[in-house]
Amino acid sequence: MASACNVCCAVRALLRHARRVPSTPSTRVLSSARASAAAAAGFNGFTRASATVATHRGRPVQTTHRGRPVQTRLASTLNPEGTIDANLGGGSVDQVRITRVDGSNVGELQDVLLSLGATCCSVEDADLGTERETELYAGDDEVWHSCDVTAMFASGVDIDAVMADAVDILGVKAIEYVVETIPDNDWVNVVMDSFVPIKVSDGLWIVPEWAKTLPAGEEDGMSVVLEPGLAFGTGEHPTTRLCLGWLRDNAEVCVRDKHVVDFGTGSGVLAIGALLMGAAKATGVDVDPLSVKSARRNARLNGVDDSRLALFCADGSDDDDLPADCDGTVDCVVANILVGPVTQLAPLFARYAKKGSGRVCVSGVLATQVPTVRDAYGEWFDDLSHEEEGGWAVVSGVRNSTPAP
């Protein structure tokens, strides 16, 4: 049994490591003898024949890697203790990659591949990194219009036979795919090696649990210790660094001895950072229960007492799920999410922030999206400004006296 966080980290490390491993990929196209002439041109296309699909109840896990959304299904389920039985045994593995799958078909494809022996199956936006990239949020039932699917199989599995069965089950004419063999590796160490101390600013670091030694000359710096796992906020992404740096720069004004709310807390990095900077208390809110668990564990790694960090699982749409003591009492609201929920939550953050002095700091925002955020917050927050790093931005402001809705 391994922790869910470590297993998912290992899966994602294996997926991204595969792209760096020298191999000779082979492209194969299978045709189903049972597919009628009227069947779809192929599963990678945008039409398909109807079919009854035998599904495997792999549990979907919403996560991110380097700020990019990934949906992963593992061929197992999480138990109440947060552990997972994942068939990640030793030896080499075969990676099967299917590109440009219609989003309406991708769920069935995942289920079929898992039922036919895939260890895990991940889905990414096929338009990632382009102007057509689409933002999805944790908890969304939607999937991208066009998807790239990657499945892992244990060494020795007859991939051609598996894909032939998939073609038959799905009732399509052909599935085009690429197979690469990934040599065996110590994936736990691969994961650990991929996370190193990250410098946010002078004297401020984010440090993985297993790498507690800061570089020479930085030993006296403040470090937020994290176990990188399911939750976003490892310090790899510019928005995490922007928000944490902003908290430090404004610690005297709105953090030290104050109440900080971290909306979309993820790993808890911003709430924990605020507490280490001297906040009297912090409140973390996240839509994902696994993130809430991750934030609690990370808080304890940093010696933060449970009484100083309140955690809630909510999306902001139902007041009954939100903390009851935040209206008009919060000194600082920080949210590192995405531009969609950031703008939608502006009225709620205006309710939380103290009139005349409360601060807001929001990110997950591209530099080109700053005007949209300014428009959303301008009614309730003055002195709006922003900082940028790597094409991303953090927007901050001071609560005015305009009544919140």
Check pLDDT > 60 for residue 78. no
Q: Which residues pair with 5 in a beta bridge?
A: none
- Same domain, residue pair 310 and 219: yes
- Same domain, residue pair 89 and 178: yes
Q: Which residues pair with 304 in a beta bridge?
A: none
The pLDDT value recorded for residue 216 is: 73
Instruction: Please tell me the number of Cα atoms within 13 Å of 317 on its side-chain side.
Output: 3
Choose the final residue of a domain: 189, 217, 245. Answer: 189
Asked whether residue 223 is domain-assigned, the answer is yes
Task: Tell me how far CA of residue 182 lies from CA of 147, 155, 193, 322, 338, in angstroms.
Answer: 22, 9, 18, 45, 34
Mean pLDDT, the chain, rounded, equals 77
Locate all alpha helices (DSSP H) within 310-369, ordered by sequence.
339-344, 346-352
Check pLDDT > 70 for residue 351. yes
Residue 389: burial class (beta carbons within 10 Å; 0-12, 13-18, 19+): middle
First-to-final CA distance of the chain: 48
The alpha carbon of 37 is separated from its chain's Cα centroid by a whole number of angstroms, namely: 42
Check pLDDT > 80 for residue 56. no
Neighbouring residues of 186: CB distance < 8 A, sequence distance ≥ 6: none
- Same domain, residue pair 184 and 219: no
Asked whether residue 404 is domain-assigned, the answer is no
Locate all alpha helices (DSSP H) within 126-184, ordered by sequence.
159-170
Best CA proximity match to 62, nearest among 112, 151, 135? 135
195-229 tens-digit pLDDT: 777 777 777 888 888 776 777 777 777 888 888 66
Asked whether residue 91 is domain-assigned, the answer is yes
Neighbouring residues of 245: CB distance < 8 A, sequence distance ≥ 6: 200, 201, 204
- Same domain, residue pair 213 and 125: no
Angle at 2 between CA 98 and CA 225, to 5 degrees: 95
Asked whether residue 230 is domain-assigned, the answer is yes
Mean pLDDT of 140-151: 86
Asked whether residue 405 is domain-assigned, the answer is no
- Same domain, residue pair 85 and 202: no
The percent of the chain in helix, strand and coil, each rounded to the nearest 5, is 30, 30, 40
Check pLDDT > 50 for residue 395. yes
CA distance 242 to 394: 6
- Same domain, residue pair 177 and 101: yes
Mean pLDDT of 156-185: 91
Choose the final residue of a domain: 141, 162, 189. Answer: 189
CA distance 359 to 357: 6
89-109 tens-digit pLDDT: 456 889 999 999 998 889 899
Neighbouring residues of 188: CB distance < 8 A, sequence distance ≥ 6: 6, 10
CA distance 296 to 289: 11
255-273 tens-digit pLDDT: 999 999 999 998 899 999 9
State the pLDDT confidence band at 32, using cuts at 50, 70 and 90: very low
Kind plus residue range of the DSSP H or E element containing 216: none
Q: Is 190 left (phi over 0), alpha (psi -120 to 50) or beta?
A: alpha
The pLDDT value recorded for residue 237 is: 83
What are φ and ψ of residue 83, in 5° steps? Answer: -105, 170
Top mean-pLDDT range of 82-96, 184-198, 283-297:
283-297
Asked whether residue 114 is domain-assigned, the answer is yes
What are φ and ψ of residue 61, in 5° steps? Answer: -125, 115
Strand pairing report for 332-336 and 259-263? parallel
The pLDDT value recorded for residue 198 is: 76
CATH of the domain at 265: 3.40.50.150
- Same domain, residue pair 280 and 387: yes
Check pLDDT > 80 for residue 386. yes
State the pLDDT confidence band at 323, using cuts at 50, 70 and 90: confident
The pLDDT value recorded for residue 188 is: 63
Strand pairing report for 174-182 and 26-31? antiparallel
> What distance separates the 2 farthest-apart alpha carbons in the chain?
72
Q: Which residues pair with 366 in a beta bridge?
A: 392
Mean pLDDT of 298-315: 92
Structural domain total, the chain: 2
State the pLDDT confidence band at 177, using cuts at 50, 70 and 90: very high
Choose the final residue of a domain: 140, 174, 189. Answer: 189
pLDDT-above-70 percentage for the chain: 72
Residue 123 has which token pair?
Answer: 């889905």
- Same domain, residue pair 384 and 255: yes
Asked whether residue 104 is domain-assigned, the answer is yes
Question: Starting from the edge strand earliest in sequence, which strands make up the sheet with 222-226, in order?
Answer: 198-201, 204-208, 222-226
Residue 186 has which token pair?
Answer: 């110590």
Amino acid symbol at 18: A
CB 223 within 8 A of CB 205: yes
Check pLDDT > 50 for residue 10. no
One-character DSSP codes across 178-201: EEEEE----HHHHHHHH---EEEE
- Same domain, residue pair 292 and 367: yes
Asked whether residue 47 is domain-assigned, the answer is yes
Q: Which domain holds residue 376?
A: 195-399
- Same domain, residue pair 161 and 253: no
Mean pLDDT of 357-377: 95
Q: Which residue has the tokens 């403040």?
A: 222
- Same domain, residue pair 340 and 262: yes
- Same domain, residue pair 116 and 181: yes
The pLDDT value recorded for residue 46 is: 29
